[in-house]
């Protein structure tokens, strides 16, 4: 007989772990499914050399438990992937959620039966489950994107993707390695590989901005100072634009400053390190192209100072506006191109044509390689939802609903799909904020709604079509006021051939968004239809 629970939670990263905990705390029965063999989500899969978070550890961590955040010791300013995975495992154990999760089990389909008010969830192991509520904690950057390169199946060497790095050790020492992609993942792995490979070829399509991370061992005095005020700082983060306490919105425009003042602000941010500060140098950096050019040119100048070969430096200088695609932080990234064993290949000028048995070929040359590393990113925000067949008995399907781009009400629900939630879904700040705080906010909001419904004797909730339409229009208008709107980034789906161009995350700010969600809850959930379905199963 198929198992029956109150809620199925898909994914056991930071979203799934906390969602399961909140539901269990509320006395609900749950079933978790996770494709990976363990908890951790993004940090379970992205275990490539150099993988590290570019939000500070003391901010990129759960805030819901004072005890947890006081007790946990982060060894570095920015945590490495193994350290974050260790933290995720620790929290999962502390909250005792593991027994509720079926690991190595990928959800393939979910159908909502209108008459029974029931989701039936199917998996690739044959395990299935029925639930009143279906909550997707499938992550925003969890479906790797692999370019369709002709001939790849004939390549005789290793192929790897940063987002699905093998769990067994990979030894690339002494090999001729090619890396495709210079986003955050490429920028982190390239210096690591350069130190090991016999020769490293970097295949760059778009030159990227990278500011110094300035990672360092955690300063005990700094840690103590944060922990002394942790609750207060978390409140500041919750009210802030980006979900971090340490990076408040800048108050001044570049136009109000002298050239010397602008230079001093940019240099101070460069010296301090990290992405949070750099796009906050001027209040109109992401709205005014002229201001943006001041900061963009500052980084280009740094690149020209660091990279010794002027021709290589010129190819590494980005042409797009800084911050309109995800800014990267690195350690020794541009310096890597001064090494004798590293060659930059500009595939914007000479595109990749195919893989051959011996390596990669552009329209100008062939490169002999023993391994190809794809650092080519993800089908972001919608990819992991779109690969599951999610539909209702009345004929509504998520894929069809989102065929022209995702449409949600506040990023939480999609009209037409009752009792179906997406944590940090498109239309919410998610990846444009400190994502752990965004996760907490969604999880708590969803848990509060389900508890509210139980008390009110209700078991069916659906987003209103008109409310959703208004939200989609509002989110689009907010994004349109910024320079991010027209950039070719994964925020807009531009990195995936054929994907509709929609600015997916909500740019209105973490704090504003949180206040709006709280207001909706306080006002009795306008924009959501809450009801009692005729049939109710008891778990």
**Contact positions vs ligand NA7 (CB under 6 A):** 141, 147, 162, 180-186, 205-206, 326, 347, 375-378, 490, 495
Q: Closer CB to ligand NA7, residue 212 or residue 418? A: 212
Q: Closer CB to ligand NA7, residue 32 or residue 377? A: 377
| Least distance between ligand NA7 and beta carbon 298 (Å) | 21
Strands (E), 412-452: 420-422
Q: Closer CB to ligand NA7, residue 131 or residue 347? A: 347
Q: Closer CB to ligand NA7, residue 58 or residue 207? A: 207
Mention every residue, 6+ apart, whose C-beta is less than 8 A from residue 329. Answer: 54, 78, 184, 210, 211, 212, 213, 273, 274, 275
Q: Closer CB to ligand NA7, residue 376 or residue 438? A: 376
Q: Closer CB to ligand NA7, residue 142 or residue 441? A: 142
| Least distance between ligand NA7 and beta carbon 411 (Å) | 17
CA nearest to 409, candidates 370, 371, 449 = 449
Q: Closer CB to ligand NA7, residue 199 or residue 326? A: 326
| Least distance between ligand NA7 and beta carbon 347 (Å) | 6
Give the span between the Cα atoms of 256 and 258, in whole angstroms: 7
**Chain residue whose CB lies nearest ligand NA7:** 183
446 and 8 in contact (C-beta within 8 Å)?
Answer: no
Other residues' Cβ atoms within 10 Å of the Cβ of residue 112: 23
| Least distance between ligand NA7 and beta carbon 274 (Å) | 14
Beta strand 460-463 pairing with 528-531: antiparallel
Give the span between the Cα atoms of 516 and 416, in whole angstroms: 22
Q: Closer CB to ligand NA7, residue 39 or residue 55? A: 55
| Least distance between ligand NA7 and beta carbon 524 (Å) | 36
| Least distance between ligand NA7 and beta carbon 4 (Å) | 37
Q: Closer CB to ligand NA7, residue 183 or residue 323? A: 183
Cα separations (Å) of 130 from 6, 118, 136, 399, 538?
Answer: 8, 6, 15, 21, 11
353 and 73 in contact (C-beta within 8 Å)?
Answer: no
Beta strand 371-374 pairing with 366-368: unpaired
| Least distance between ligand NA7 and beta carbon 324 (Å) | 11
| Least distance between ligand NA7 and beta carbon 380 (Å) | 7
| Least distance between ligand NA7 and beta carbon 404 (Å) | 22
| Least distance between ligand NA7 and beta carbon 304 (Å) | 20
Q: Closer CB to ligand NA7, residue 383 or residue 508? A: 383
Q: Closer CB to ligand NA7, residue 32 or residue 359? A: 359
DSSP 224-288: HHHHHTHHHHHHHHHHSSSS-TT-PPP---GGGS-HHHHHHHHHHHHHH-SHHHHTTSSTTTTT-
Q: Closer CB to ligand NA7, residue 206 or residue 283? A: 206
Q: How many residues does the chain have?
A: 539
| Least distance between ligand NA7 and beta carbon 512 (Å) | 21
Other residues' Cβ atoms within 10 Å of the Cβ of residue 346: 18
Q: Closer CB to ligand NA7, residue 110 or residue 180? A: 180
CA nearest to 17, candidates 85, 66, 77 = 85
3 state SS for 10-56: ECCCHHHHHHHHHHHHCCCCEEEECCCCCCCCHHHHCCCCCCECCCC
| Least distance between ligand NA7 and beta carbon 188 (Å) | 8
Element (H, E) at 511: helix 510-522
Q: Closer CB to ligand NA7, residue 374 or residue 528? A: 374
| Least distance between ligand NA7 and beta carbon 510 (Å) | 15
Mention every residue, 6+ apart, whose C-beta is less than 8 A from residue 136. Answer: 10, 11, 384, 385, 420, 421, 422, 423, 425
284 and 309 in contact (C-beta within 8 Å)?
Answer: no
Give the span between the Cα atoms of 132 and 372, in whole angstroms: 45
| Three-class secondary structure of residue 289 per DSSP | helix
Mention every residue, 6+ apart, whose C-beta is less than 8 A from residue 170. Answer: 158, 160
| Least distance between ligand NA7 and beta carbon 336 (Å) | 15
Give the span between the Cα atoms of 61 and 74, in whole angstroms: 10
Give the span between the Cα atoms of 193 and 172, in whole angstroms: 8
């Amino acid at each position: 007989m198929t198992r029956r629970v109150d809620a199925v939670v898909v994914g056991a990263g930071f979203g799934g772990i906390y969602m399961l905990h909140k539901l269990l705390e509320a006395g609900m029965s749950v079933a978790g499914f996770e494709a990976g063999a363990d908890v951790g989500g993004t940090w379970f899969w992205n275990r490539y050399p150099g993988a590290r978070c570019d939000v500070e550890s003391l901010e990129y961590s759960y805030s819901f438990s004072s005890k947890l955040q006081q007790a946990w010791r982060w060894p570095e300013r920015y945590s490495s992937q193994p350290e974050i995975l260790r933290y995720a495992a620790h929290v999962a154990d502390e909250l005792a959620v593991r027994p509720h999760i079926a690991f190595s089990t990928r959800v393939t389909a979910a159908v909502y039966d209108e008459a029974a008010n029931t989701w039936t969830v199917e998996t690739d192991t044959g395990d299935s489950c029925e639930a009143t509520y279906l909550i997707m904690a499938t992550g925003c950057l969890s479906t790797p994107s692999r370019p369709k390169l002709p001939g790849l199946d004939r390549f005789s060497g290793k192929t790897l993707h940063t987002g699905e790095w093998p769990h067994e050790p990979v030894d690339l020492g002494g090999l001729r390695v090619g890396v495709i992609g210079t986003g955050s993942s490429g920028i982190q792995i390239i210096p690591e590989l350069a130190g090991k490979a016999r020769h490293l070829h970097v295949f760059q399509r778009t030159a990227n901005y990278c500011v110094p991370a300035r990672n360092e061992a955690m300063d005990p005095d700094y840690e103590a100072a944060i922990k002394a005020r942790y609750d207060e700082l978390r409140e500041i983060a919750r009210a802030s634009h980006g979900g971090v306490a340490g990076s408040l919105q800048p108050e001044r425009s570049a136009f109000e400053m002298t050239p010397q003042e602008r230079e001093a602000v940019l240099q101070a941010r460069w010296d301090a390190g990290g992405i949070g500060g750099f796009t906050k140098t001027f209040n109109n950096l992401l709205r005014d192209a002229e201001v943006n050019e001041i900061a963009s040119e500052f980084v280009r100048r740094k690149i020209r100072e660091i990279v010794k070969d002027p021709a290589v430096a010129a190819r590494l200088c980005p042409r797009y506006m800084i911050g309109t695609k995800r800014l990267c932080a690195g350690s020794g990234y541009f310096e890597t191109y001064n090494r004798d064993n590293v060659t930059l290949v500009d595939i914007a000028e000479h595109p990749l044509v195919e893989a051959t048995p011996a390596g990669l070929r552009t329209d100008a040359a062939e490169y002999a390689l023993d391994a190809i590393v794809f650092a080519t990113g993800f089908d972001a925000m919608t990819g992991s939802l779109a690969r599951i067949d999610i539909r209702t008995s009345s004929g509504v399907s998520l894929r069809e609903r989102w065929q022209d781009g995702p449409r949600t009400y506040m990023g939480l629900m999609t009209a037409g799909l009752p009792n179906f939630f997406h944590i940090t879904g498109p239309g919410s700040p998610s990846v444009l904020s400190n994502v752990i705080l965004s996760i907490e906010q969604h999880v708590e909001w969803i848990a509060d709604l389900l508890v509210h419904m139980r008390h009110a004797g209700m078991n069916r909730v659906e987003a209103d079509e008109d409310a959703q339409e208004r939200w989609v229009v509002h989110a689009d208008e907010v994004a349109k006021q910024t320079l991010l709107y027209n950039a070719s980034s994964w925020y807009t789906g531009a990195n995936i051939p054929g994907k509709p161009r929609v600015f997916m995350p909500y740019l209105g700010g973490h704090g504003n968004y949180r206040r709006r969600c709280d207001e909706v809850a306080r006002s009795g959930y306008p924009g959501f239809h809450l009801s009692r379905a005729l049939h109710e199963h008891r778990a």
